[in-house]
Amino acid sequence: MRLAIVNDLNLTVEFLRQIVLKGEGNEVAWVARDGAEAVEKCAIDPPDLILMDLIMPVMDGVEATRQIMNRYPCPILIVTATLDGNTSRVFEAMGHGAIDAINTPVMGSDPAAQQSRDALLKRIRTIEKLTGQPSVSQRLRPGRSALAKKLPPLIVIGSSTGGPKAVAEVLSRMPAGLRAGVVIVQHVGSEFSQGLAEWLNDQTDLSVRLVSEGSQPASGVVFLAGSNDHLIFTPNLTLAYTAEPSSISFRPSVDVFFKSVAEHWPSKGIAVLLTGMGRDGAEGLAALHRAGWYTIAQDEATSVVYGMPKAAKELGAATDILPICDVAPAILRFLEKM
């Protein structure tokens, strides 16, 4: 895999280079010392993946990500040691198309330092699988449980690349008195999930919180998957995490969650698949569509990466294909009929 490193600190650049080259088949395509240089080099030689710092002179990682994704789209992983006080910048970069974010690995020989280096290589391998091949077909059995329980209408949302901004756009248009529960699966490392929940909470009148074992949908509450394990519904309609299927590249998987909803949720609801790279969520959306759910896929024009919603369109999984600005109004109109 050909990787580019964008960072203004020489020591960090060399440290990242050493880590990258330890990965089988990896090579460093080029190095840029600021975002502007990265944009110029990407125009000439787009790599397979860019490791993008967040805070740099001349042009920061947020603006560089925006320009690269607009002009010369390629996978971008935010690798930064400046998360404290900059959480909003991380999600702004992800809104422009960065796939994920991770802490800069720690130098040293202690176990924690080694673990941080291994974590970066693992994230690179995961992105390589995601961009190089479709998601592995999941093993959960479709269908719905006959278990009936008095719970609010359910809205489920799946997203990946560009998802934080798209999700915020949808939630910002939801009223505080929403008579439905919302559950979201966004591809993001667990170390950033709490920050994402807090950031989304500032964008909406709804209450946004992370899912904990045993959580159950509630009106006006948005639950966000907060683990690198997959989020599922259990037969008793509580939310839980599971490591299986272990073969899936990106975690948590939208497909695994959507298929568990189709299997266990006792009534019809609303499912939305937003911008993202790959095919995750398309099969799950199709399962919910077959179960009689109202399903929405984001359109190509407003998607940062038209991968997941495109796959859903190809499967005929979407009742409606809508620009992001029309998703929330469509949800509210459908809720009025339920």
- Give the C-alpha separation, 213 to 228, whole Å: 14
User: Quick check: is 187 catalytic?
Assistant: yes
Taking the C-alpha atoms of residue 2 and residue 105, their distance in angstroms, rounded to an integer, is 19
Burial 132-156 (b: 16+ CB within 10 A, else e): eeebeebebebebbeeeeebbbbbb
Q: Which residues contact 110 (CB under 8 A, 6 or more apart)?
A: none
3-state class (DSSP) for residue 148: coil
For residue 227, indicate whether it is catalytic.
Answer: no
- What is residue 177's DSSP assignment? T
Buried/exposed 39-78: b ≥16 CB within 10 Å, e otherwise: bebbeeebbbbbbbbbebeebbbbbbbbbbbeeeeebbbb
- Looking up tokens 């699988």, which residue turns up? 129
Query: Rounded to 5 degrees, what are φ and ψ at 119?
Result: -65, -40
Q: From the candidates 34, 48, 100, 160, give the one annotated as an active-site residue.
A: 160
Q: Which of 53, 255, 280, 299 is catalytic?
A: 280
* Active-site residue (options: 187, 230, 264, 289): 187
Residues catalogued as catalytic: 160, 187, 280
